[in-house]
Amino acid sequence: MTTHHLTRGATVHKNGTGFAVWAPHADTLDVVLPADGGFGSVHRMHEESSGTFAVDIPDAGVGTDYVYRLNGSADRPDPVSRHQPHGVHGASRIVDPHAFRWTDKAWRGIPRADLILYELHVGTFTPSGTFAGVIERLPYLKDLGITAIELMPVAQFPGTRNWGYDGVHPYAPQDSYGGPNGLKEMVNAAHKTGLAVILDVVYNHLGPEGNYLADFGPYFTDRYHTPWGSAVNFDGRDSDDVRRYFIDNACYWISEYHLDGLRLDAVHAIYDFSAYHILKEITDRVHAAAAALKRTVHVIAESDLNDPKLLRSVMGGGFAMDAQWSDDFHHAVHAKLTGERVGYYVDFGSTTDVATALQDRYVLSGGYSQFRKRRHGARADDIPLDRFIVFIQNHDQVGNRAAGERITHLISEEAVKLAAALCLLSPYIPLIFMGEEFGATEPFLYFVSHGDADLNRAVQEGRRREFAAFGWQDRVPDPVAEQTFTASRLDWDTPRSPEQERLAGVYRDLLRLRRSEPSLKPGAAGVRVEHDAHEEWIIISYAAAAAPPLMAAFNLSRDAQCPRSAGAEGRWQRVFTTSDPHHVPEFVEARADKPWRVLLAPLTGVLYRCDGARNVRRIAS
């Protein structure tokens, strides 16, 4: 088995640089290099099979800028550019992928069940808004209990202010963040710290500004449409090389940047009716590249389809992706604790929904969705618990609110701590959004800095229309204004309030428990969920082999309640509570004639460990 090597774009060799590009739309193609302060050294490329053009240029060395000239007139950046130092419209730059001195040879990655994800946006995570700024915070994240960073997209986008989903150069790390070397330094430092790095990649569309792929070949199709325009051509005529472009990109991040996983954005907007679905092919190829490198690499899907096919094994007719973001858990917890019922929240809001999300993976698993006006989803009981990623906040669920409110802006302190406990004591892989762990007061807003004034106006108008269904259209900050971006930057210097310190303590305690309690490792324990819809409490029982059983109880009511369970007999010791410890019993006794029960204050979560269980009921996961 050999490791993956990129052969398109600019490839440095000992005698110069070879250039190769797939461009079936071109009649002629030239590489144009700098000459006399501009571009004038023209090198004709030779057409090879399948519309691919190639040429070797001895004088083109590392750091040289270049463009492709189509049909003798149109100068374009390289579709496989590794570096765009002059922005999305400017020249590409030759990069030697072997020049960086990696020190992570012994790094093997993080097993899926050990993932505790921390999603961050490079531009607003630190004052510098760079990969170097992230490096400064790695010790903090390690000490917090995080095991993997998940970066929002970093492919070169227009300007310097963007979420990253408008990227148009999938192979080029954003120059304003630090470019190729900056990202490599960050990954290398993360591995040295003991943290994995997962990258959000966008294969369902490219951004609207600086997207020149269609000039080179049939990368897009009008057969399908996405919320962002024409779909990527994964199954039409001449789609083989389009597929190769994105498959190469996925393997490139794993091989050249030593990344530990990819989060594929909105796979429900990827259309492919061929026999070998592009998602399965990407997963297969990434896993093969990881095996050749002897590393653990995760392929994670974002999907709103509630379709277990993404996660099922190949033998089970699935794509064998490693994990999936679970929106249903977020929607259930959010709707219950905030009381919001607009938009997609109309399908959620009860304690039963939260309990279902904890037990059955999906809430909508074939039943009727009022929001969609149809049945939605399918049952996923056969999918292991460690294949689902849950959260109470992420970039979408915060940033796609008109005012970018975090959950701390919407509910009480006790309710926020309860939400954190539901997520971090769930039987799934947890994800924390940057700043969530200490109740950051900064919003996370939507921002862009396109160079096209008409496009900026279209974005401004589109955001207002988007929120009309939620009744938020009058509260939309200007996405083009720089202050919208700066308002979203985390403040690390201002002393935290007492409320923030208390919340930070809750997160640290919960993350410590996830590391120390074997029964809390996703997939390691049998899990049973009980609840009372009227009294609004939930109990999760965990029983792992050769480990003390655990019992987590949550009161989602605004009144005191008494959750009860016919769980294991024995003496249960409290190991965590979100409320004042004086109001929660330190021990709970359970016998055959006396069920496990505990009195909980409103909006409280607790965890008990049974150190001397005498009759542990076997629980199926």
pLDDT tens-digit map of 365-412? 999 999 999 999 999 999 999 999 999 999 999 998 989 999 999 999
Answer yes or no: do 545 and 433 share one domain: no
Instruction: Reply yes or no on whether 360 is catalytic.
Output: no
Q: Are residues 151 and 195 in the same domain?
A: yes
CATH assignment at residue 287? 3.20.20.80
The enclosing H or E element of 333 equals helix 327-338
Q: Please indicate, yes or no, whether residues 561 and 489 belong to a single structural domain of this protein.
A: no
Determine, yes or no, domain membership for 256: yes
Residue 105 lies in a domain: no
CA atoms within 13 A on the CB side of 328: 29
The neighbour count for residue 605, using CB atoms within 10 Å, is: 27
**Are 390 and 471 members of one domain?**
yes
Q: How far is CA 411 from the centre of its chain?
A: 25
Cβ–Cβ under 8 Å, residues 152 and 446: no
CA dist 410 and 435 (Å) reads 16
**Could you read off the pLDDT of 44-63 as tens digits, one per residue?**
999 998 899 999 999 899 99
Of 34, 66, 93, the domain-final residue: 93
Closest listed residue to residue 211, CA positions, set 365, 88, 62, 333:
88
Give the pTM: 0.96
Q: Which of 412, 442, 423, 399 has the alpha carbon at shortest distance from 338?
A: 412
Residues 6+ apart with CB under 8 A from 324: 300, 301, 302, 303, 310, 311, 387, 388, 389
d(CA 146, CA 396): 21
pLDDT for res 2: 58
In a domain, 103, yes or no: no
CB count in 10 Å sphere of residue 32? 18
Distance CA 224, CA 204 (A): 11
Listed residue (597, 609, 604, 603) closest to 562, CA to CA = 597
- Which one from 200, 235, 302, 386 is the annotated catalytic residue? 302
Q: Are residues 141 and 254 in the same domain?
A: yes
Same domain, 263 and 408: yes
164 and 256 co-located in one domain = yes
Question: Which residues in 552-590 are b (16+ Cβ under 10 Å) and which e?
Answer: bbbbbbeeebebbbebbbbebbbbbbbbeeeebbeebeb
Say whether 265 is catalytic.
yes
Q: What is the pLDDT of residue 618?
A: 40
Does 388 share its domain with 491? yes
512 belongs to a structural domain: no
Angle between helical axes of 327-338 and 413-424 (0-180°, round to 10): 160
* Residue 112: partners with Cβ closer than 8 Å, 6 or more residues away: 296, 298, 322, 323, 386, 387, 429, 522
551's CB contacts (< 8 A; 6+ apart) are 539, 540, 541, 542, 565, 567, 572, 596, 607, 608, 610
Rg for the chain (alpha carbons), in Å?
26
pLDDT score recorded for residue 617: 45
Beta bridge partners of residue 594, listed in sequence order = 591
Q: Which helix (H) or strand (E) holds 325?
A: strand 323-325
Tell me: do 322 and 362 sit in the same domain. Answer: yes
- DSSP class of residue 615 equals B
In the set 175, 265, 281, 509, the catalytic residue is 265
Domain boundary among 506, 541, 568: 506
CB 174 within 8 A of CB 198: no
Within a domain: 615 = no
Question: Do 126 and 193 have their domain in common?
Answer: yes
What gap in Å lies between CA 549 and CA 547, rounded to an integer? 6
Do 466 and 419 sit in the same domain of this protein?
yes
Bridge partners (DSSP) listed for residue 148: 117, 196
Beta pairing partners, 599: none
Q: Rounded to an integer, what distance in angstroms lies between the CA atom of residue 386 and that of residue 544?
A: 14
Q: What is the mean pLDDT of each run of 10 residues along the chain (621 residues)?
A: 82 94 97 79 92 94 96 96 97 96 97 97 98 98 98 97 97 98 98 98 96 97 90 97 98 98 97 97 97 97 97 94 97 98 95 98 97 97 96 96 93 98 98 98 96 90 76 78 97 95 97 95 91 97 90 97 87 94 90 90 96 50 42
Q: Are residues 322 and 406 in the same domain?
A: yes
> Strands 537-544 and 148-151: what pairing?
unpaired
Q: Is residue 620 part of a domain?
A: no
Contacts 24+ apart (CB under 8 A), 366-371: 370/346, 371/343, 371/344, 371/346, 371/347
CATH number at residue 584: 2.60.40.1180
Looking at 477, 506, 535, the residue that finishes a domain is 506
In a domain, residue 101? The reply is: no
Q: Provide the residue range defining the domain that includes 367.
A: 112-506
Tally of CB atoms within 10 A around 9: 23
Closest listed residue to residue 70, CA positions, set 58, 60, 78? 78
Residue 56: beta bridge partners? 18
First to last CA, the chain: 36
Q: Does residue 594 form part of some domain? A: yes
CA 363 to CA 336: how far, in whole Å? 13
Number of domains in the chain: 3
Spatial distance between the Cα atoms of 161 and 541, rounded to a whole number of angstroms? 45
Please report, as a single letter, which amino acid is at residue 490: L
> In which residue are the tokens 């690499």 written?
297
Distance between CA 261 and CA 146 in Å, rounded?
15
Half-sphere exposure at residue 5, Cβ-oriented, CA atoms within 13 angstroms: 9
| C-beta separation of 372 from 386 below 8 A | no
**pLDDT of the residue at 621:** 42
CB 562 within 8 A of CB 597: yes
Q: How many helices (H) and strands (E) does the chain have?
A: 13, 31
Phi-psi region of 483 (alpha: psi -120 to 50; beta: other; left: phi over 0): alpha
